[in-house]
Structure 1
Amino acid sequence: MAALVAAEAAAPPGPAEAAETAEAAELSRALSRLLPGLEADSKLGRRRALEALERALEAARPEAPDADPAAAAAAFQGPWARLLLPRLLRCLADPAEGCRALAVHLLGLGLRRAARPRDALPRLLPALAARLAGPEPARRPPPEACEELRLALVELLGLAVRLGGSALAPHLDDAVRVLRCTLLDPFAAVRRESCDCAAALARATPDHFHMQSESLVGPLMQSISHQHWKVRVAVIEATGTVVQFGSGKSVDDVLPHFAQRLFDNVPQVRQAVTRVVGDWLLRLRDRYSFFHKLIPLLLSSFDDEIPEVAREAANLWEKVGLQWQTENEEDLKDKLDFAGPPPAHHPSPGSRPGLGCRELVFRNLSKILPAICHDIGDWVAGTRVKSAQLLVVLLLHAEDHVTQHLEPVLRTLQHACADEERAVVSSCTRSAQLIGTFVSPEVFLKLILPTLRKSPSPSGLLVLASVIQGCPREALRPHVKVIAAELAQAHICQGSENLLYGESLLLCVQSVVAVSREDCRGSSLQLMEVLVTVLALWGATGLGDKVQETLATLAAVASMDGSLDLFREHAGPLLEWLAGSHQAWTIHSTELLQFDVVVIHSGPALGEVLPQLVPVLRSCLQPTRDPSMRLRLFSTLTGVLLQARETVDSQGQFHAYLDTVIKDIFIPNLQWHAGRTAGAIRTAAVSCLWALISSGILSNKQVQEVRGTLTPQILTALEEDSQMTRLTSCRIISAFLKTSDDVIDPDKFMKIYPELLKRLDDVSTEVRLAATSTLVTWLERAGKEGGKSCDQGSIQYLYRELLVYLDDPESTVQDAVLEALKAGSALFPNLLVRETEAVLHKHRSPTYCEQLLQHLQTLPPAP
């Protein structure tokens, strides 16, 4: 056998081997002639030598179509490794930049053409490290100063990695040392190429790379926030591969940086994070240990503003769930065999996550939720928004399994619903709706209602409203009365005067009505109490229209025609609800505002609740009560009395309470007291009395009773400082005179005109005209009674006074006085003629006197 081997070795080479040897020899001779030029002293000489080598190598490339590439590579291998490689590596340190560039190009060309490129690695890697790896990459510049050359060197390293494959294992130290520096290179293209090289190195040496992978994670994370988005994408993708083939311990170092990149403004960066995390969840060796950390990152992309990123995240997540389901098929056997339909009220049953996805979330929820709950309160708005969106996705997967984590989730939602970011609040209300969908009301109400009792807040009410919105009607039905009764409690419905609180409180009622519909009929009184409170506290600040809409909806589900029917049914109980505290009311009492709302909005129902209404008014309008409160109540009562037929007298029963209203309400408040506040109350009382008299609900007999009781107070009111009081008092006296058919006591009748005459000197022309108009009524009334109530002396005095004002500077007053004299001329016409003629020459213009005399001539002669 040994002899046979020796004989074969001594045998002459075959034709192919001979040709290969001849080609190698020829190439060696050609290179030998050119290589000395690389040692030239001049830069130009070395460059020309390198260019000549390039031409020689290009010329030596096999051009024939039938040439054997393997044979050519084998022929090239010897001269390349023996002659060319060592000298080209020395040229990498050439002082001339052009020479170094040509050397790099030739090295790349040689690696591609050599039959065994891995043989060059022991010499190539140290040379590359010498040019690219500085001792302190973060502080000192690399030995190679030219950016383009550093890029070419890194590309050469990448070529060596691709061609060398697993043969790079012994040289990992040099390669990693180079990449640690080039990953932080100032030139962005070098960083991108280094990322590709790092990923290729990890794939080429899977059995050894894990020992070096951690040393690359630091530089990668330093570059992950680079200003160029393409660098950031390359870093993320390279990190995915480095960690995939490296140590699982690096995941914890990488995840915070990946989480930060989910806020990147460039969609490609966020998409790269999504892909890498999804790939880890599918292929990472230790992925089960990191599920609770990786799942939130992938699910966070579900709400990405770019649909393509969101779709890719959803597709990857579906694959993850299916793979996990397949890997754990035995564990999930019962659930797979007896899979039930989606929950009846699932928000999106057609796109319900698969079993594997749901189980993954459920089994990791206890580890994920604490971090989410913490981040929802982060000081960075973007973190809060992302965390709130992620919570929605988690709850959609967890379904009823969230019950065991309900307390911390609700606590977080109540805090987050007070956030100033609308996006956070929107996501949190969506989460609360999902809780209402998947969790029994009996469970979540036991957690929410005690918190509201202890500390009512707008956010707490918003959470309650949201869970009610998501709750199925059948599940909510047994709890409607409890919710309505709780909302109607004073410490909740009056918990704050903040508008946001009122909006949240109203939203609770709207949610109850919208979800329970006809089931809330039995709780309509409590819901009315809440709506009355909202209207009382916030109706003037923008919630009035929304409350009216809610009242209309509540009436509709209760099979009523509108809100008036609601008030007709509940006005009595509402007044009784408020009457219990009326003794302590002041202008600041919420109950006063609620009472005001009930009175204003009850309409015809007020005529049915007079037994409850009048005692409260009588008590609250006593002179000893808060003046500001009395002013408000008089204002409300005036508005009601102006439409008395449609309000307090809708049943025709107001006359039964007239005596109480006059004696216990008007008379005490018309009595004179010093001070502006007392004057304002008298003005309000006079206005309210005028509303009653002008409403037309009083019969002549009732007007006579009112006149007999109130005339002294009204005559006194003619002297008030308030113009409104004087004006309204004139109108009231005129109404008394017009609507009374009985014979007025002469003494009382004669006391009226002197007070009216005084008003002719009033500073207000409007009051003067009203007083003159009332005098007309008085004179007409005197004429109807044939002068029985008047003596000639009093009438003569009245004529003389009126004739003075017939020459008033105001023409409107002159016209009014002329009408008054004409109205009274029938009493003593001859007397009026004499008085008129006596002053005719004294007036600035005799026109009005002449008109009066002409009128007197038309009267029939006195008997």
Structure 2
Amino acid sequence: MCKPLLRRFDDVSEKCRDLAASCVLKLLRSCPDEALGLLPYVVPVLEERLRRKPAVVGGGAAGPAEPSEEVRLTLAQLFGFLVSQVGQAVCAYAGEVLAVLEAALGDAYHEVNLEACSCVHALVASLGMRLQPVSKQLVAGLLPLTTHKRYRVRVAALRALGPLMHQGAHEMILEMVGHRDPNMVPVAAFYGDPDLRVNFCGKLAADANAQVRLEFLRVVGDWMLRLPERVDHEGRLLPFLLAGMVDEGPQVSCEAARLLDQLGEQYEQEHEAEVKELLRYCPAEAAATEAAADGGITAVNSCTGLGALASAGGPGAAQQEWLPTALAAAPPRLGARLLVQGNAGRLLAPMCAELSSWQAGPRTRCVALLEAVLLLLGRKAEGHLQLLVPALTKAIRESTTRQQVESCCALLGRACSVPELLALLLPRVRDAGADACARADALLALAHVLRGSGAGDGGSAAEAAPIVLELLLDPEVGESDDKHLRASCLEAARQLIAACPPAVLAEHAPQLLVVALLSLASDRAGLVRQDATAAAAAEAEVAAMQAEEAEQLLRMLAGAVGATREGGGGGSGDGSVDRLLAQHREMVLRLVIS
């Protein structure tokens, strides 16, 4: 019965072709044991009807021999059913099968694309590594579907790509991330043949649909955990996994945290000697627990940094908002941190370059990712300060990402050596030949470094206090005519007061008083000089706000110093400010005159 029906597959009537294909499909479903015997007859016919015809000069355009979308869908379903039933016998028709799949994957009808993706998944399950000779061709056919306008097609393409990459197609990961070998020059591009690369992984990680992002994350996690060549592609895939940690979808971020924990556990098992040595000689840095039962490592959980301080209710509890949601819920284990630290160089360079992107969307995602990476790096970020500090000072003025960039600066201040950070930031603030806004940005970054340094016991901020106060008392900084620089100066003084212990504040109270008074005098002088223009009114409003901030700084300092001198009853009103000024009047006058 099937042979006469197969002859009707090229009938001139669309209805006849549709009925013939449907009848053959129903017959095979009712008698699946006969699929193997019909394979020599059905496969050539399907190849002829689904394979794309080349364009003819002066004739028709390129396209499949079957013009009807509904009939092509039925033919694709018939092909998929055959592949699922005959198993390894389909290898005898490898050329025809590959041609049909390439045509179906490139079909304009999305339902045909879905059937083709299901067929690829079935082929991988039945053939396994026998697909190695054609696996790269199949991946190349699936990649365009990851940018399809329908999310169901993108999800289906990812589900087919996941297991297919294990069949010898791992080199196609380079195509997925848009990799370009720096040692190879695309000579053909000089002669009009463009060498275009598409970062499919980047598009999938930023997909508008949460289901696509979740499926992509699972595929990346599967490759990083089970791909035999996973070490070769670890540095290329890790950024997309970390991007899931800061995803706006809670399901995606939780899945990313789970995968990162599995990667950390795998790292600890594969580098057991390294982890044991770290636990033995650097226990404080590792912050891990070692099982004594068998001498092995059963649970190595990282609770250092801001996560430990917040969970312990210590001074860092106020900084809990720095933590990305997934990291705050489950602090990363030691293996995960070591994995990120080992790939820090490859992670930070492109992120620092992306911070200056003109597009707000990529810039926002990049800052969120950088925040998570810095938290995982911890003290190891000191080796990359030459790269991080210029990028953060340049990006801190952007209104859309300012809060997160400030958090990144605070994380650096919490984890890294404050003297090293000051050595990089102070020359930028003192550079008289630089733009005033650039100097103000560097000073603002310094202020939030001080905020981070005070998350512990305040020792780092106390050591930096004399150097910072000397900077703020510099006439070119504290008495500058630029409103941005004066505002950054006030912010640095405020963060210094918040970070330092009361005893240190009492010691440096005269210098802090001078900083606040000079700013207050400059802002009030600006209020007096204003004329009646609209621009002058706006400047007067800014000057009034800065004057109010300077007065708040005085009250804040008086409250902190008064609390330590009077056992907590010093208050923070104008009376306490007057008492503090009276107490340090001589030193304040001497500093102002000098």
Q: Name the TM tier (shorter chain).
A: 0.7 to 0.9
Aligned AA for 1:326? Q
- Structure number with the bigger relative contact order (C-alpha 8 A, sep ≥ 6) is 2
Q: What SS does the corresponding residue of 1:358 show, helix, strand or coil?
A: helix
> Which is further off, 133-142 or 268-277?
133-142
Q: Which of the residues 316, 328, 332 maps onto 1:353?
A: 332
CA change 1:122–1:426 in 2 (3 A) is farther
Q: What SS does the corresponding residue of 1:481 show, helix, strand or coil?
A: helix
Q: Which of the residues 571, 578, 586 maps onto 1:564?
A: 578
Match of 1:22 in 2: none
TM-score between both structures, scaled by the size of structure 2? 0.78
Match of 1:716 in 2: none
Matches for 1:250-269 after TM superposition, within 5 Å: 250-255=172-177, 256-269=199-212
Match of 2:63 in 1: 141
Deviations 1:488-532 (A, max 9, x none): 21222244523x433322221111100103112222222223222
Match of 2:429 in 1: 452
Whole-Å separation in 1 of the counterparts to 2:176 and 2:487? 44
- 2:164 paired with 1:242: yes
Q: Which of the residues 464, 467, 474 maps onto 2:446?
A: 464
Whole-Å separation in 2 of the counterparts to 1:442 and 1:345? 21
CA change 1:332–1:172 in 2 (3 A) is farther
TM-score between both structures, scaled by the size of structure 1? 0.54
Q: Which of the residues 179, 204, 218 maps onto 1:275?
A: 218
Q: 1:165, CA displacement in angstroms?
A: 2.2
Whole-Å separation in 2 of the counterparts to 1:487 and 1:546? 16
Whole-Å separation in 1 of the counterparts to 2:125 and 2:146? 21
Whole-Å separation in 2 of the counterparts to 1:199 and 1:158? 10
Match of 1:522 in 2: 507
Q: Which of the residues 99, 107, 117 maps onto 1:185?
A: 107
Larger radius of gyration: 1
Q: 1:182, CA displacement in angstroms?
A: 2.1
Whole-Å separation in 2 of the counterparts to 1:168 and 1:328? 42
Whole-Å separation in 2 of the counterparts to 1:321 and 1:139? 53
Deviations 1:308-338 (A, max 9, x none): 1111111122112212322332342323567
User: Number of residues paired by the alignment?
Assistant: 494
Contact between 2:511 and 2:591, CA under 8 Å: does it hold in 1?
no
Q: Which of the residues 507, 516, 528 maps onto 2:491?
A: 507
Whole-Å separation in 1 of the counterparts to 2:270 and 2:28? 44
Match of 1:551 in 2: 554
Whole-Å separation in 2 of the counterparts to 1:578 and 1:437? 33
Q: 1:436, CA displacement in angstroms?
A: 1.1
> Structure 1 stretches of 5 or more lacking a match?
1-83, 581-863
Whole-Å separation in 2 of the counterparts to 1:248 and 1:345? 36
Match of 1:372 in 2: 351
> Structure 2 stretches of 5 or more lacking a match?
178-198, 289-301, 312-329, 525-542, 563-569
Aligned AA for 2:513? M
Match of 1:131 in 2: 49
- 2:415 paired with 1:415: no
Match of 2:535 in 1: none
Match of 2:320 in 1: none
Match of 1:308 in 2: 251
Match of 1:284 in 2: 227
Whole-Å separation in 1 of the counterparts to 2:114 and 2:61? 20
- 2:295 paired with 1:295: no
Q: Which of the residues 102, 118, 132 maps onto 2:36?
A: 118
CA change 1:149–1:437 in 2 (3 A) is same
Q: Percent identity over the alignment? A: 27
Match of 1:213 in 2: 135
Contact between 1:534 and 1:547, CA under 8 Å: does it hold in 2?
yes
- 2:1 paired with 1:91: no
Match of 2:293 in 1: none
Deviations 1:235-261 (A, max 9, x none): 233232332334111102113212122
Contact between 2:106 and 2:113, CA under 8 Å: does it hold in 1?
yes
Contact between 1:263 and 1:382, CA under 8 Å: does it hold in 2?
no
Deviations 1:557-593 (A, max 9, x none): 222652222332444444444446xxxxxxxxxxxxx
Match of 1:225 in 2: 147
Match of 2:123 in 1: 201
Match of 2:465 in 1: 480
Aligned AA for 1:288? V
Q: Which of the residues 268, 272, 296 maps onto 1:325?
A: 268
Whole-Å separation in 1 of the counterparts to 2:271 and 2:34? 46
Whole-Å separation in 2 of the counterparts to 1:207 and 1:442? 56
Match of 2:520 in 1: 535
Contact between 2:355 and 2:395, CA under 8 Å: does it hold in 1?
yes
Whole-Å separation in 1 of the counterparts to 2:61 and 2:577? 78
Whole-Å separation in 1 of the counterparts to 2:39 and 2:580? 92
Whole-Å separation in 2 of the counterparts to 1:496 and 1:167? 82
Whole-Å separation in 1 of the counterparts to 2:37 and 2:352? 57
Q: 1:384, CA displacement in angstroms?
A: 0.9
Q: What SS does the corresponding residue of 2:148 show, helix, strand or coil?
A: coil
CA change 1:459–1:328 in 2 (3 A) is same
RMSD: 2.5
Contact between 1:132 and 1:142, CA under 8 Å: does it hold in 2?
yes
Contact between 2:135 and 2:164, CA under 8 Å: does it hold in 1?
yes
Contact between 1:320 and 1:357, CA under 8 Å: does it hold in 2?
yes
> Which is further off, 113-122 or 290-299?
113-122
> Which is further off, 132-141 or 480-489?
132-141
Aligned AA for 1:128? L
CA change 1:445–1:303 in 2 (3 A) is same
Contact between 1:183 and 1:191, CA under 8 Å: does it hold in 2?
yes
